[in-house]
Every structure is written in structure tokens, then in C-alpha cells.
Amino acid sequence: MTLRTSLSAATAQTSPPSISSLMKLALEKPELVSLAAGFVDQQSLPVEETTRATEKVLGDARGGRSALQYGNTIGDEALRTLLVERLEQGHDAAPGTYRDAVARTVVTTGSAQLIYLVGEALLNPGDIVLVESPTYFVFLGPLETRGARAVRVPIDGQGLRIDALEEALSQIQEDGQLDRVKLIYTIPEHANPTGISLAEDRRKPLLDLANRWSKIAGRRIFVLEDAAYHGLSYGRPEAKSIWSLDPEAETVILARTFSKTFSPGLKLGYGVLPNELVDPILRLKGNHDFGSSNFAQRLLHRVIADGDYDRHVERLREIYGRKRDIFLDALDRFLKPFQNEVTWTRPQGGLFVWMTMPEGIDTGFDGPLFARCLAEGVIYVPGEFAFAPEPSPFPRNHLRLTFGVPDEETLVEGARRLAEAVCATLSPSATA
């Protein structure tokens, strides 16, 4: 007799990661040009900097043993203090301005863990999270696991539309569901998947809106500021964070990571939490792992303190800025015949370009464009994955492209192959 395995409701309602099949495809067919995976440039990874920092951390036997021991749940105090000091510098604040934030800063196993912990701390089945449309599709997974509802809010070239957010909250209130709204999720810098940044003049209005509707709802509506691509700006300064506009530490959860700006293998990020969430998040994190890697934290502290981190980020800006220019130039050249039918974003930072096909062109796995791209030897992420399920239906004529992983020559070839597939899809008679 074969016994059935009884899984939890959370497991049963969690779908497989949406791009697992793309990763598998890229591994099985190395001849494909992958404009899909949002990984970092392999050749940019900081081997020398990490080697130097490791030697320093382990060079002193006593300090080395301390680094190799367990740490605490909230994270190494010296690192947290350094991170808050860097926030002061980044916001042109006087030294000591954010001193109180050290006690609210938690080091996490990448920003993904922080995002998951926020969901655990706040969301019950049926609760509502307002997300940009489109949004970071990996964020939708934890919401699904929690049984929460993700509701789309339109963006434009300046990021999240505050008027549309107001309309969405008004509709939810009219539906009698305002008490279920727990969170507004935004990616203010060079968003994944669009590359668009939230305009500076929308940041304070977003915070004001969240605070005003919190009073109407009679419970706090938090803003989760996912700043994973902060620092990767090419030729343009970045606006001050939404978090810096919340000195009372009531509303904004700031999430940052070192995966894109230093090393994903180090697997470290951090969050600065509102007062009310510090204890709940730490209790949950304690059940996860007792604290993120103590050794990795000491290593990161050394890299930052020695200046190697900032030098590396500057190098990344040069690498990715050049790759972005090459990729956009190639798209302009190869897709020129379709410039009135196909559009794409021109990001000022980050790793992504968002492309829009004419309405009616399905860019999904079963659509004509993806099939043509496979035939041409290039893959992308179908844009449909980046849209929350509510309100339905969602558009299916977008695709996410990345210029982070391929080298410069491969980026040009990938753009050429993509253009061939677009031509075959939009003008089949021309390729017959």
C-alpha cells in the first residue's frame, strides 16, 4: 500500500517558480542567447576583493574564530552601524542623524529573506498587497504562499502612478475590503522588470497617501521599498529613498541587498524596519536561521570599510552602463523597421529592458514570438509573469530582457536574433 503525503496548505498553493523552465532550457542548450536570467555579469564578480577581505578576517586567530562562530539574529552590530552610517552619507544627513536606526536594522540572507519575513509577519489569507503593474514576479510567490491577494496598480514612465494607487484604494474601500490592505510594494530604483525608477516628486506623495489611508483604514498600511538595484545608476544621480522621508519610522520598510552590487554568492541583504515590526521580524527570523552567516557579515564589513565595495560598484556602473548602451543601440538598429509597432524602455540603471509588442501578440511560452525566438536561438522572460492576478485579465504582449549576463558581442547577437523573431512574428510573409 502506497501512503499519501499530506502537504501543508501553504505548500499546496505555491506554484513552481515561473522561470524554472527557462533556466533549465539555458543549461540544456548553451547555444541559446539568454536575455532572460537576471543574474550578474560572471566576469565582474569580485574575486580579488573577497580574497583580500577573507585573509584579513582570518588573519587574526582570535578574530577569525569569532567570525566562524554563530552570530546573533539581528546581525553583527559593527556591520549594522556601518550600514546606517552609509545611509546618512547617501542622504547627505549629518553624522548621527540615523543613529536610532541601528537597532531597527536587521541583516538578512539576501533581501529575499526580508521580503519573505515581512509577508510572514503581516499577511493572513485574503489580505491585500498593492503592487506595481508590472512588478518583480518573484515577489508574487511569497504572497501566493501566504494566501494573500496581489492587486495591480498601473505605472508610467515615472514609476508608480499615485493617482492610480488612490483609485485602487478607493475601489477596495467601496468593496468593503479596506481592512485587508496591509502593504504597498514598490521598486523605486531601476525596477525589475521595467528598468523604470520612481520619480522624486512622487516619493513623498506615496508616503503621505499610505499614512492617510492608514488612518482611514484604522490600521497601518506599510510601504515596502525594495531597493535591490540601488547604486547601479548610469550617468544620473538617484533620488533620496522613500525611507528617508519617514523619520518617525512608522511606515516604510527599506530592503537592500548586496547580491547585485557585490556578490550573490555572499547572500547578504538588510532591512531597516519600522518600530512595530522589529520584534515580530526578529522572532520569525530566529526560527529561520538564528541569524545570517556571521562569517559573511564580517567579510562584508571588511570589504566596505576598506573601500573595496565602493570601488567595485563604480566598476560595475562602467561595465553595465556600457552593456546597456550597446544593447539599446543594437535594438534600435535591428528593430528600426518596427519602431512604430514595438517599444521598449531605456533604463537609467539596473539590468532590465521592458519590451511591448502590439496588442494581440502573445509573448508567452505558447505564443508565436517565443516559438520564433527559440527557432532563432534566443530566449526572454514572458511579461505575463510580472502581472499580479487582480484585476484580471492581464496583458500578454510584453517581455522582459536583461543585458546583465551576456558579454557585449553576445548582446548584439541576441538583439539581432530577437529582431529576426519579431520580424517573423509581425511580418510572416516577409520571411516565408
* Average pLDDT value over all residues in the chain: 95
Q: Are 402 and 354 in contact (CB under 8 A)?
A: no
> What CATH number is attached to the domain comprising 264?
3.40.640.10
Residue that finishes a domain, picked among 306, 336, 361: 306
Cα–Cα distance for residue pair 89/49, rounded to 1 Å: 23
* Same domain (yes/no): 21, 161: no
- pLDDT for 431 beyond 70: no
Looking at the structure, do residues 282 and 375 belong to the same domain, yes or no? no
3-state secondary structure of 356: strand
Q: Are 238 and 251 in the same domain?
A: yes
- Residues 73-128: pLDDT tens digits? 999 999 999 999 999 999 999 999 999 999 999 999 999 999 999 999 999 999 99
- Asked if residue 6 belongs to a domain, the reply is no
Q: Are residues 61 and 140 in the same domain?
A: yes
Does residue 344 sit in the same domain as residue 266? no
Give Rg (Cα) of the chain: 22
pLDDT tens-place string over residues 380-406: 999 999 999 999 889 999 999 999 999
User: What does the alpha-carbon distance between residue 40 and residue 395 come to, in Å, rounded to a whole number?
Assistant: 28
- Where residue 429 falls among pLDDT bands split at 50, 70, 90? low
Alpha-carbon gap, residue 260 to 232, rounded angstroms: 8
| Tally of structural domains, the chain | 2
Q: Quote the pLDDT of residue 190.
A: 97
Query: What pLDDT is stored for residue 406 in this prediction?
Result: 95
Among residues 282, 306, 330, which one ends one of the domains?
Answer: 306
Of the candidates 251, 284, 306, which is a domain's last residue?
Answer: 306
Summarize the confidence of residues 309-322 as an average pLDDT: 97
pTM, two decimal places: 0.95
Reference 259, options 185, 328, 350, 387; nearest CA is 350
**CA-CA distance, 372 to 379, in Å (whole number)?**
10
Confidence of residue 268 (pLDDT cuts 50, 70, 90): very high
Residue 234 lies in a domain: yes
Q: Based on the domain organization, do 144 and 254 belong to the same domain?
A: yes
Report which of 219, 243, 302, 410 is spatially closest to residue 50, judged by C-alpha positions.
302
Q: Are 398 and 356 in contact (CB under 8 A)?
A: yes
Task: Give the domain extent around 412.
Answer: 16-45+311-427
Confidence of residue 432 (pLDDT cuts 50, 70, 90): very low
Residue 261 lies in a domain: yes
pLDDT value at 185 more than 80? yes
Identify the pLDDT of residue 236: 86
pLDDT tens, position by position, 347-360 = 999 999 999 999 99
Write down the pLDDT at residue 424: 95
pLDDT, tens only, 2-46: 888 888 988 888 888 767 777 777 777 888 999 998 889 999 999
Cell of 239: 533620488
